[in-house]
């Protein structure tokens, strides 16, 4: 073994077997738990308690803090609480607020006070989005560039796995326990985040927070455009919007598509959902490991190609029709591409931020990256009704190409 290969091997081992990766496991779990409380546990609870579907549908509006969190992220960047340090102080406050607010939900009667439930759920969303701001910033300060891919991939996958607590375990317990006990039980899992906060140190020994709130608002934007240049910065922002546009559109109406193809609910639940969850987790973790050896740029190219090709699998399924084996293969391939692409894309977003302004820049970039899903949910149904499923998926494939072409400018293959 040559000296160079020995160094590379040591670097690879150090990148995947260290305390920073373990921290990313805990940040992902603490970040994902409250979101899945809102999108899985709360709707089930409301329906069981007799709340109408229309009212439950409107509860989706409480998620607006996740999209608009960049509006108050400068406050978190600017002000340091008088305990635990610049990031950990905010982490502890948001986690304790989540623990109390999630537990409090179960003590309400939705039929008597649906608006109080809505206000409290909106509070959970606000505290959750605020925790995301500070956890993203902490992770950016914690991870060296070579570990951004794997660290963020681990964070995203444990984020998803956290959904098993409110989305599976809590629903099983609800058959045997009162709802206030179930919500208290789920809220107690936020203790994972609290323990993390108390036992880790600040990611950077010399923080340099903005001196004024105005500086906290203006500087992140000014720094980004100064560092990248106006034209390059605009291309990067456009790339963040376009890279997963086709992929997001292809999966926006996946369940109605499976039903239209003639699959039963049991087949969708056992084949499609299981294949998608398994594939996206494997894709994310494999993608993170690959990026330790490859650059983020090359990962964006390789995983982006997988994303584009996998969309065509849906077009193939729309032609073949009701075939369970093809369903499992197509869904597995598509979500493998989702997992791989998300791992590289999240690492790219993290690399594009300056650790000094990580909270605001990360919040802004992730909000911009989330816009395609909003656009997709708004227009995909209309498009399908006009052109049909096969042509729709071909269109999604074509819409994925502009983001790939922008890689020539924002992430060249040979640029480290």
pLDDT tens per residue, range 282-330: 766 676 666 667 777 888 888 888 888 888 888 898 898 888 888 888 8
Res. 69: pLDDT tops 50: yes
DSSP tag of 284: H
**In the chain, ranges of CATH 1.20.1250.20 domains:** 15-209, 214-410
pLDDT band at residue 10 using 50, 70 and 90 as cut-offs: very low
Domain at 214-410: CATH code: 1.20.1250.20
Structure tokens, 416: 């480290």
pLDDT tens per residue, range 162-183: 888 887 788 788 888 898 899 9
Q: What pLDDT does 368 receive?
A: 80
Lowest mean pLDDT among 45-49, 224-228, 382-386, 412-416: 412-416
Residue of 295 and 406 predicted with greater confidence: 406
pLDDT averaged over the chain? 81
pLDDT band at residue 343 using 50, 70 and 90 as cut-offs: confident
Q: What pLDDT does 170 receive?
A: 84
List the alpha helices (DSSP H) in 162-253: 164, 170-173, 179-188, 191-199, 213-228, 230-242, 245-252
Q: List CB contacts of 307: < 8 A, sequence separation 6 or more.
A: 244, 246, 247, 337, 338, 340, 341, 400
Res. 271: pLDDT tops 50: yes
Q: What pLDDT does 77 receive?
A: 84
8 A C-beta contact, residue 261 and residue 318: yes
Q: What is the CB-side half-sphere exposure of residue 271 using CA atoms within 13 A?
A: 21
Between CA 225 and CA 351, with CA 77 as vertex, the angle to 5 degrees is 45
Q: Which of 27, 80, 359, 81 is nearest to 196 (CA)?
A: 27
Q: Say which CATH architecture domain 15-209 belongs to.
A: Up-down Bundle (1.20)
Question: Average pLDDT in the 210-220 region?
Answer: 82
């Amino acid at each position: 073994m040559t000296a160079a290969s020995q160094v590379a091997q040591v670097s690879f081992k150090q990148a995947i077997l260290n305390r920073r990766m373990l921290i990313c496991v805990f940040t992902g779990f603490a970040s994902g738990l409250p979101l899945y409380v809102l999108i899985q546990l709360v709707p089930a609870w409301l329906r069981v308690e007799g709340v109408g579907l229309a009212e439950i549908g409107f509860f989706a509006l409480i998620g607006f803090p996740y999209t608009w969190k960049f509006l108050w992220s400068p406050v978190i960047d600017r002000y340091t609480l008088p305990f635990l340090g610049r990031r950990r102080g905010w982490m502890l406050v948001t986690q304790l607020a989540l623990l109390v607010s999630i537990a409090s939900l179960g003590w309400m009667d939705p039929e008597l006070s649906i608006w109080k439930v809505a206000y409290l759920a909106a509070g959970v969303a606000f505290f959750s989005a605020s925790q995301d701001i500070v956890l993203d910033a902490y992770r950016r300060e914690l991870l060296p560039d070579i570990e951004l891919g794997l660290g963020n991939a681990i964070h995203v996958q444990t984020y998803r796995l956290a959904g098993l607590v409110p989305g599976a375990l809590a629903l099983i317990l609800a058959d045997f326990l009162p709802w206030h006990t179930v919500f208290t039980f789920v809220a107690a899992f936020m203790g994972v985040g609290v323990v993390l906060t108390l036992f880790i140190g600040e990611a950077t020994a010399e923080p340099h927070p903005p001196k004024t709130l105005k500086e906290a608002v203006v500087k992140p934007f000014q720094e980004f455009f100064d560092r990248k240049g106006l034209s390059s910065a605009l291309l990067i922002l456009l790339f963040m919007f376009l890279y997963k546009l086709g992929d997001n559109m292809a999966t926006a109406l996946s369940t109605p598509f499976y039903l239209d193809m003639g699959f039963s609910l049991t087949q969708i639940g056992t084949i499609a959902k299981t294949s998608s969850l398994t594939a996206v987790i494997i894709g994310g973790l494999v993608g993170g490991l690959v990026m330790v050896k490859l650059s983020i740029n090359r990962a964006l190219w390789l995983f982006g190609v997988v994303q584009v090709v996998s969309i065509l699998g849906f077009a193939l399924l729309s032609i073949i029709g009701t075939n369970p084996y093809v369903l499992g293969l197509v869904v597995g391939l598509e979500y493998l591409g989702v997992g791989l692409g998300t791992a590289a894309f999240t690492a790219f977003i993290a690399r594009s931020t300056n650790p000094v302004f990580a909270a605001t820049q990360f919040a802004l970039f992730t909000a911009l990256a989330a816009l395609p899903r909003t656009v997709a949910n708004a227009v995909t149904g209309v498009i399908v009704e006009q052109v049909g499923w096969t042509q729709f998926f071909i269109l999604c494939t074509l819409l994925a190409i502009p983001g790939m072409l922008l890689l020539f400018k924002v992430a060249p293959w040979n640029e480290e």
